[in-house]
Every structure is written in C-alpha cells, then in structure tokens.
Amino acid sequence: MSEGSILWSPAPYHIISYGILLGTTTFQSFVGGIVAFKALPRPQFATLQQATFPIYFTMQTALPLVLALTFPAERTAISTRPGSLSGVLDAENRLHVLTPLATMLISGLLNVVYLGPATTQCMRERKHQETRDGKKSYEPGPHSQEMQLLNKKFEYLHGASSLVNLMGWVAMLWYGFYLGDRLS
C-alpha cells in the first residue's frame, strides 16, 4: 500500500472517530462534569452544562453515524467482508457492530432530542419558581409544592439522561473490545 493511500481508507477516520467519541464521553461523564460541579457555584455550573450538553449530545449522535459510514472492510484468508453500512448490517456483524453502534446512536439521540432539552426546560422552570418562592431549589426544605414537583421532575430527567448516557458509554466499551479483537 502506498503512503498516500491511507488517506483514502476509512479505517483511520473510523478509529479517530471512535477515540473522540469514547474520550469525550469518558471525560465529560467521569471527570469534567464532576470537577465542574465541585468547582463552580451552581448557577455557573448550570450555565456551563446548558452550553456544553447540546454539543456533547450532538457529538454522541453524529459520531456513531460516522463510525457506521467508515466501518472498514475486513480481509480474510478466503474473502473480503464488506465495509461501511453494508458491513455494519452484515449478519456476522449484527451483535458486535450493529448493536453497540445502534445503542450509541439511540442514546445520543434520546439525549439531544428529548432528555437534554426537557432537563434544561425543567431547570428554567425551577429558576422561575425560585424567584416566586424566594428560595433556591437546592436549599434545605421545606419547599413549595410546585418546587417539590419540579425537583422530582428534574431528578427523574437528570437520572434518565445519566442512565442513557451510561448505556451509550457501555456500548462504546463493548465496541472497543470488538475493535481490539479485530486488531489482534
């Protein structure tokens, strides 16, 4: 293979996309978000998350599509297995390629389209309720009935988003083991 031909191969773009996806998800989920929560006052933390999450969730939705489109063909001793979407959809790849990629895509899509915006809207509603109540949503109780409902709604949405994010991350690890096996 000539030096320049690797630029036309989907393989490096596939592995780079996977690295970006796993790296950003791991960092945001287990480092950046936690450090920001501990280091910033709540209003600034909320502002940071509202600005970061749409980009983060969009990446989590787009990069699995890039992975599917750049899925490299595989040469075996007797044939070549297809690449790109046809390779992802190939019967042999449904469990270890299609399933984790679909899980990543669906988890990102759920967060970018529904859970992220719903959580942000609930945060805005809590902010307005704080003004009405004269008390922050995170201060010790008692809280108004409206704030109690908004706090429960926020906890549910945030928890669902975190769980969906974790499911996507597990799928990324699962796919990483597949890639590692393919390299050996």
Tens digit of each residue's pLDDT (9 = 90 or more) over 22-43: 999 999 999 999 999 999 999 9
Reported pTM: 0.91
pLDDT tens, position by position, 83-101: 889 999 999 999 999 999 9
Q: Which domain does 98 fall in, by range? A: 8-183
In a domain, 31, yes or no: yes
In a domain, 161, yes or no: yes
Listed residue (95, 12, 110, 13) closest to 61, CA to CA: 110
What proportion of the chain, given as a percentage, has pLDDT over 70? 98
Domain count, the chain: 1
Is 140 exposed, middle or buried (CB count within 10 Å of its CB: 0-12, 13-18, 19+)? Answer: exposed
Average pLDDT score over residue span 125-134:
95
In a domain, 3, yes or no: no
Average pLDDT score over residue span 8-33:
96
Listed residue (58, 75, 73, 71) closest to 175, CA to CA: 71
